Chain A
Amino acid sequence: MTTDESDAGWFASVPPDDLAAARDAIDGGSAESPADWPRLAVESGFADDSDNYYDRLREATLHATREAVAERERADDRQLIHAVRAVDDCERVANELAERAVEWAGSRFDGVDSGIAGAREIAEREADDDLDRRVISLASRAAALADERDALAATIDRVAPAVAPNLADMAGPELAARLIALAGGLESLAKKPSGTVQVLGAEDALFAHLSGRAPSPKHGIIYTHEFVRGTRPEDRGSAARALAGKLALAARADHYSGEYREVLHEDLRERMATIRARADANGDETGGDDE
């Protein structure tokens, strides 16, 4: 039965010196509960004794993990970019479809709410005729797309800290993914000066400025970060500059070492406390709300 199989050790169908098979088993296998694998491996003849088992385990985990790291490093920032673009597409299409379904439903049913919430209600209705069926089906597609958007966002929450631990902690997973997407990858984000990071996502405004039609933008997509949004308007420029500076360093740390650097985060917190202290010193409340 499958329960036996799924609870077998990694070595169950791995020939003793086959590292490729070991890698597949370690990477792709699973078990609900652990067991006394060293003893079972010796009993099954995979290893001569527990020392020999640990030698084989060492070789197998080193190989499997080295391969898995190489593969993930190649793939992950690209995956994040696809996911964050898919979030935006799902959101836009879900809203458009919901609007269409709600408008249509309003001509046939009473008390229809607007937006995705409205689409969800319509999706629950019983159809009386063929046209009802079409409206309800359309609404349920809008609702399903909204669900897909949420599932994609949850995936980004999980993947972003693995791809860019410093950036994800500093910016939050979704904004981290957006910055990576706007730059075209973690490596190119890591190579951007902080002034560019500050206005990523404000390309239109930047273009208008360069062609002499507008003042220079103070911030791009990092505006959505609490440190900028929650700072009073006259200090937002400094907040955006400070945040962008640390985000640029976070991206470099993530790309070049991948290690979490506590000191970056502390520096940013201190810098923000200083900027916000100005507002308090003026006895004047910030524009946004922290909680």
Chain B
Amino acid sequence: MSDSLPAGVERRAIDGGTRLATRGPPVYGEPTDGEWRAWDPERSKLGGMFELGFDTGLSGGETVLYLGAASGTTASHVADFAGPTYAVEFAPRPTRDLLDVAEARDRLFPLLKDARKPETYAHVVESGVDAIVQDVATRGQAAVATRNARFLEDDGRLLLAVKARSEDVTAEPDDVFTDVLAELEETYEVLETERLDRFHEDHLGVVATPK
């Protein structure tokens, strides 16, 4: 399982358990061990995907576009092991905290932008990124992934967390996931899917690559 972890992400004994960890300045009061800080899969969909053994295709040092960065909990870990990381978030208040996280790092670029409108940041975010990490939790999650495909390298990876309730509160999560995947498949080839319920109720993890 651990062979699927990128360089810079390790399982380490921290705080009395074996935890995923990255090396960087602490962000949210997470337990640390020297330079290493624990990555809590309960607070991060991507952390959950690593914990569940998804093959993310990441090996470390990649250029990443992160959509829905919020206050930077997950984006901080990504910036720890990846290369240049563009973090898009559209709500001002969490972005205020994201700024502190970015201040403490060299290659985390915060952008207050709406992920449904990639043309408003395509003059900043470079083409050919190796991975898009998406966790926007609003209606239209497949459309966001589709519109942002323009940034992704041909053999790049979309690492997506779909929240069922954001699409339709009343529908069965499985029905929502089926619809989202169908829409996604117009632009992407889906490589792997698995429910993240162990860490995040009614979420689906998806790994995909451009068609």
A residues in contact (CB < 8 Å) with B: 7-10, 25-26, 29-38, 54, 57-58, 61-62, 64-66, 68-69, 72-73, 76, 158, 161-163, 165, 254, 257-260, 266, 290-291
Contact = CB atoms under 8 A, between A and B. Distances in A.
B123 A38 contact: no
Contacts of B201: 266
Nearest to A73: B92
Nearest to A27: B112
Contacts of A29: 123-124
Contact of A32 (B97, B110, B111, B119): B119
A260 to B, nearest CB: 7
A57 B111 CA distance: 11
Contact of A161 (B71, B91, B120): B91
Interface string B94-126: 111111001100111111101000011011111
25 contacts: A9-B124, A25-B123, A26-B111, A30-B120, A32-B119, A32-B122, A33-B150, A34-B125, A35-B127, A37-B125, A37-B126, A54-B107, A58-B108, A61-B109, A62-B110, A64-B112, A65-B95, A68-B112, A72-B112, A73-B93, A158-B114, A161-B91, A162-B90, A254-B93, A258-B94
A36 B128 contact: yes
B96 A69 contact: yes
B123 A290 contact: no
B63 to A, nearest CB: 9
A10 B112 contact: no
Interface of B: 70-71, 84, 90-99, 102-103, 106-112, 114, 119-120, 122-128, 137-138, 150-151, 170, 201
B127 A34 contact: yes
Contacts, number: 112
Nearest to B110: A65
Given A54-B84, A259-B70, A31 B123 contact: yes
B176 to A, nearest CB: 15
B122 A34 contact: yes
Nearest to B201: A266
A254 B93 CA distance: 8
Contact of A58 (B93, B109, B112, B150): B109
B211 to A, nearest CB: 18
B112 A30 contact: no
Given A34-B125, A58-B108, A62-B102, 8 more contacts: A10-B123, A25-B123, A26-B111, A31-B122, A34-B122, A62-B103, A64-B112, A257-B94
Contacts of B106: 54, 58
Contacts of B107: 54, 58
B127 A33 contact: yes
Contact of B96 (A25, A161, A258): A258
B128 A290 contact: no
B93 A34 contact: no
Contacts of B122: 30-34
A162 B92 contact: yes
B99 A62 contact: yes
Contacts of B120: 30
Contact of B93 (A35, A158, A259): A259
A29 B114 CA distance: 14
B93 A257 contact: yes
Nearest to B163: A262
A66 B90 CA distance: 13
B119 A162 contact: no
A69 B109 contact: no
Nearest to A265: B165
B48 to A, nearest CB: 13
Candidate in A69, A72, A266 with the most chain B CB atoms within 10 angstroms: A69
A31 B128 contact: no
Nearest to B102: A62
Nearest to B124: A10
Contacts of A26: 111, 123-124
Contacts of A10: 123-124
A128 B98 CA distance: 63
A247 to B, nearest CB: 16
A30 B95 contact: no
Nearest to A165: B91
Contacts of A165: 91
Contacts of B110: 61-62, 65
